[in-house]
Amino acid sequence: MTDLVTVGDATLRFSPPRGERIETAAGFDAHVGGPESNVAVAATTLGLDAAWLSKLPDTPLGRRVVGELRRHGVRTGVVWAGSGRASTAFVERGGAAGARTVPDRDGAAVATAAAEDLPLGVVREANTLFVSGATPARSETLLETTATLFSVAGEADTTRAFDTRFGATGLDADQARDLYDHLLDDVDVLVVDEADAEAVFGLDGDVVPAAHNLRTRYDCTTVVVTRKEYRHPTVGLHGGEIHEVSPFAVETRDPAGVHDAFVGGFLAGRQRNTSVKEALRQGAATAALKRTIVGDVVVGSPDDVAAIRDDRE
């Protein structure tokens, strides 16, 4: 069995040197990033067998995406399209005021990925399936594909995990809520940022009641609420248990992909049947490691994550 299968897009991201602007940069570094691919890399860093499924054009850019993920140890199940393109973006990094991302994803091949295009046997044989809200928001086709994937996973007793990622959907709050309502009754593990809970569901104030509200609304087994301010503790609800885990203090070199690293670390912890609290701690330590690394993904080993945890303990 595959420990973790993620399904979604991966963007080839071009960044000028740290602190420089797109308008004036003479060169750009290339990184591959996306919620599902980043989560797969984080899980692989922690020793899981992770696979990423998607649809890409059979072009140098599409092959670059696959090659980079494989270099991180992620297995890939890609449908090679004869049309469409790879998603790209130009991303300014560092602390420059007004730093921005300029996405260029229209016409991407992934938007046409139907369920029958993907290796559903991998989903059936996986321990956990993960999709973020950014994927079903891309097209009606991907919305129905995601719904089918959750149905297939449910029939096979594969744990279904979903991260709302409202800011990455490009939808307004009402549209996003409709999308979530279409999918989340079939989700076992829900990750939602505090800002998403406020903007989409109108749940402000104490995050614990907000988590209870979402767990009741969608009948999820586990709800994890990450925080707008990363220094605040992450909250997890599971059964009758409520857990709060504070972040690990590290110097931030690059905030890109930190949330995804947390999700990958948390899912890796649950895969190993640790308690929800211990999985939250592993997620927090994985996120802290990512903060020290430039790029979209966390690179290292289980020992690097353990060193962050042991330092505080």
Among all residues, which ones are annotated catalytic?
260
Q: What tokens does 141 get?
A: 């086709």
Where does residue 95 rank: exposed (0-12), middle (13-18), buried (19+ CB within 10 A)? exposed
CA torsion through residues 292, 41, 259, 268, sign: negative
Residue 200 φ/ψ, nearest 5 degrees: -95, -40
Compute the distance between CA of residue 9 and CA of residue 34 in angstroms, rounded to an integer: 6
Angle at 267 between CA 261 and CA 271, to 5 degrees: 140
Q: Which residues pair with 11 in a beta bridge?
A: 33
Contacts of 272 (CB under 8 A, 6+ apart): none
Residues linked to residue 4 through DSSP beta bridges, in sequence order:
50, 128
DSSP state of 205: S
Strand ranges of the sheet holding 126-132, from the earlier edge strand across to the other edge: 75-81, 50-57, 2-7, 126-132, 159-163, 189-193, 222-226, 234-238, 241-245
Q: Is the dihedral of CA 8, 169, 157, 189 positive or negative?
A: positive
End-to-end Cα distance, the chain: 34
What residues pair up with 128 in beta bridges, in sequence order?
Answer: 4, 159
Contact 56, 86 (CB under 8 A): yes
Structure-token pair, residue 24? 């004036």
| Helices of type H across 52-206 | 60-71, 120-124, 140-155, 173-183, 194-201
